[in-house]
Structure 1
Amino acid sequence: MDIKTASALHRLRLVSVPEALSFPALLIFGSLLSRISDIDYLMPPLGALHGFLFVVYVLFLLDVWNKAKWPFKKAALFFLLAVIPFGGLYGDRILKRDEAEIVAAARTDREAANA
């Protein structure tokens, strides 16, 4: 794997935490707020923000799946983690480890080529 794969993993990491927090923080909070008060105008923009983050996450996931040559099971796991509230936080830890391994391997390859 190369540095482009690490960049794709990093992009997926950048969106995984906000996406993981958007469901419980935005949608549940907004839903509770609209039920206990007269603030109904808050749900459409919060839902749109959550939907936007989910779509970006899926697009970045497809990019990583293509570049990292993940098996279908691993890509399906990360899709499932996006659907489960707070699942992206667990996925972020896995992605961080994978990204560090790829960067270290790329660095080793570059040093070997320069030597």
Structure 2
Amino acid sequence: MLSQLISTPLGRLRIVAFLEGCSFLLLGFTMILKYKYAMPKPNYVVGMAHGVLFITYVLLVLQVAYLYKWPKLKIFWAFVASLVPFGTFYAEKNLYQK
């Protein structure tokens, strides 16, 4: 199943969307560690991972939108999903299905 997802651009987008959503939620947890418990290192590590996943997500949305000829509204919602907590999980379920 995983090898089938990795083999297509849409499958890769779905995987990265899930990982990006997880990193977004984890970043919220590490912000608490940073500001309440003076532990900045977890926030730095998760923040860097989240940044890389976010950029990858944006590039994959552009690639998939071009290849699958998505309408502009769908592209817009795919980008909005990356800015809202739980948004990529919702998008994976409702936007990224064939």
TM-score computed with the length of structure 1 as normaliser = 0.73
What aligned pairs does 1:45-84 form with structure 2 within 5 A after superposition?
Answer: 45-84=45-84
Where in structure 1 are there 5+ consecutive unaligned residues? 1-5, 99-115
Could you tell me whether the CA contact under 8 Å between 2:33 and 2:43 is conserved in 1?
A: no
- Whole-angstrom CA distance in 1 between matches of 2:35 and 2:44: 14
Residue of structure 1 in register with 2:17 after alignment = 16
Q: Aligned to 1:42, what secondary structure does the other structure show? A: helix
- Greater relative contact order (Cα 8 A, min sep 6): structure 1 or 2? 1
Q: Which protein has the larger Cα radius of gyration, Structure 1 or Structure 2? A: 1
Percent identical residues: 33
Q: Deviations over 1:32-87 (max 9, x none)?
A: 01222231222222111111110000011000011001111110100101111111
Query: Which structure has more helix as a fraction of its residues?
Result: 1
Aligned pairs, how many?
A: 91
Residue of structure 1 in register with 2:3 after alignment = none
Could you tell me whether the CA contact under 8 Å between 1:61 and 1:75 is conserved in 2?
A: yes
Q: Which runs of 4+ in 1 moved over 3 A?
A: none
Q: Aligned to 2:40, what secondary structure does the other structure show? A: coil
Matched residue type, 1:53: L
Q: Aligned to 1:11, what secondary structure does the other structure show? A: helix
Where in structure 2 are there 5+ consecutive unaligned residues? 1-6
TM-score computed with the length of structure 2 as normaliser = 0.85
What aligned pairs does 1:1-115 form with structure 2 within 5 A after superposition?
Answer: 7-25=8-26, 27-94=27-94, 95=96, 97-98=97-98
